[in-house]
Amino acid sequence: MVPVLLLAGCSLPSRPVPVVRDPGAGVRVYLQPLPQETHRLKFVISSITARRADGGEVALLDDPREIRPDDLIGHQHRLVAANLPPGDYLGLNLQIEDATLMTDEGENDLLVPEEPIAIDEAFRVRADQTTALFLSLSPDRIVTAGYRFTPRFSLWGSRPVLPGLKGVVTNNAAGTLTLFEKKTPTVTNVVALGRGPGEVVFDAARSRAYIALSGEDAVAVFDLVNESVRAMITLRPGDGPVEMALSPDGSILVSANAGSRSISVIDAVSFVERERLLLNDRPSSVFFDPQGERAYVLQESSGMLTHVDAHQGRIIDTVHLEESPVRGAVSDDGKALYLITADSADLLVVNAATLRVQGRKYVGHGALCIEVDPFDGLIYVGLSSGDVMVLDPGFDLPVDTLSTSGGVAYLSLDTEENTLFALIPEHRRLEKFDLVSKKLLGAIEVDEGGYAVSVTGER
């Protein structure tokens, strides 16, 4: 059996699938983590312009940006997220408005360059692509003569990292993917994918990702090595796929089609839809059991739970629950389903064979997503309050809590580092936490409408 990573989907309950704008013709400029030598500095960037090859300039900043290196040492910061006219560009011009240096005697004003700083690096903007640029400040001779601010910047385009260090965030409203290096973490690329990207699942053995595109009625097959779309699995008009699940052996992909109230059973080798099963209501989530024989489909509006034989392409059973199931995951031994609901503060424990509710665990209201660690069986539930509740299957109450900066729409566990990634769409952030100390290890900035995240090494 070929090993792959199985992703338990986590996203906002009852989240509408927006009709989003077409992505592309965009540029993102990231200021790389600043050197330690800048910790006493503060400066203001009043403007950033892109220099066209034909001699014109295009403004990229709406407002001045104050840079406080103490806040950015060791952290990447997005300076620009804008659209540019397609064409060839020679680089950026950056104007410094103000700079100060903290000394033992207090804060001293520095003399800043009168002319914009020209940063040369040719790049091309295409109508169907998003261009990511990375700006770095050299630590050498930042302040000269004791009073002159003389920064030297370098600029470069995206440089793919090894697939084994890679993570992906889908941005539903922006129509983009944010690719990042998971250890630091830092953004390494932004890719315009299509309208309405939703769930993303990794097939690590084949170095590919599958991404649901609700606005395209399709599933994108994304090459994690070349960072490009390898193929597009076209579904039927109106399907509106948002959620997906991949079997553990990587052979079957199940797409939950919210628009047509159906699921598609797709051959993940030939990229062909093998079966189409009609449901009673709009599917809100789908996930596999550890063996990959069975898939479970939740239908929030009607309170339905459907058991599917994915290999045979048939519905085994459907039951009605008292609560409205939003997201689910399977226990580490495959014997129980854990379901979060839209109208209860309890996590439902459902027998995986009979589909009968056999217990409840209190997590609190506002549960948005769920993830289970298959190694130790711990259950992680993200809440709209910003808390992540940690539950042990042997107890009815949470055994630990982790606090984030906002409503947690998606969780992803990394087995290689024993870390947790939490997606916070309201702040356009992805935060990384150590699972032992519960401390924040880093964060990256993502595009509008962050929907799902997947990392290599995911449990």
Band of the pLDDT at 459, cuts 50, 70, 90? Answer: low
pLDDT of residue 6: 36
What was the pLDDT predicted at 70? 81
The phi and psi torsions of 115 (rounded to 5 degrees) equal -95, 155
pLDDT in tens, 273-296: 999 999 999 999 999 999 898 999
pLDDT at 16: 40
CA distances from residue 84 to 95, 117, 257, 357, 368 in whole angstroms, order as listed: 19, 20, 34, 54, 35
Question: Measured between alpha carbons, how far is 316 from 318 in angstroms, rounded to an integer?
Answer: 7
Q: Say whether domain 26-156 belongs to CATH 2.60.40.
A: yes
Q: Are 256 and 243 in contact (CB under 8 A)?
A: yes
pLDDT in tens, 405-416: 999 999 999 988
CA 181 – CA 165 distance, rounded (Å)? 6
* Nearest CA-CA partner of 361 in 378, 385, 386: 378
Residue 28's contacts (CB-CB under 8 Å, 6 or more residues apart) are: 78, 80, 81, 130, 131, 132, 133, 187, 190
Answer whether residue 368 shows pLDDT above 50: yes
275 vs 10, higher pLDDT: 275
Q: Note whether 47 and 61 are within 8 A (CB).
A: yes
Q: Which of 23-27, 268-272, 443-447 has the lowest mean pLDDT?
A: 23-27
Question: Which CATH code for domain 166-455?
Answer: 2.130.10.10
**194 has pLDDT over 60:** yes
Hey, where are the domains in the chain? Answer: 26-156, 166-455
**What confidence category does residue 35 fall into, taking pLDDT thresholds of 50, 70 and 90?**
confident
43-72: pLDDT as tens digits: 999 999 999 999 999 999 999 999 998 888
CA distance 273 to 301: 26
What number is the average pLDDT over the span 337-354? 96
Any long-range contacts for 61-68 (C-beta under 8 Å, 24+ apart)?
64/97, 66/42, 67/31, 67/34, 67/42, 67/43, 68/42
Write down the mean pLDDT value for the chain. Answer: 92
CA dihedral 379, 319, 236, 454 (to 10 degrees): 0
Q: Indicate yes or no: pTM above 0.85.
A: yes
Position 23 scores a pLDDT of 66
Q: Do domains 26-156 and 166-455 have the same CATH topology?
A: no
Read off the pLDDT of residues 74-102 as tens digits, 9 standing for 90 and up. 899 999 999 999 999 999 999 999 999 99
Q: How far, in Å, CA of 55 to CA of 428, rounded? A: 34
pLDDT at 25 over 80: no
Q: Is the distance from CB of 7 to CB of 285 less than 8 angstroms? A: no
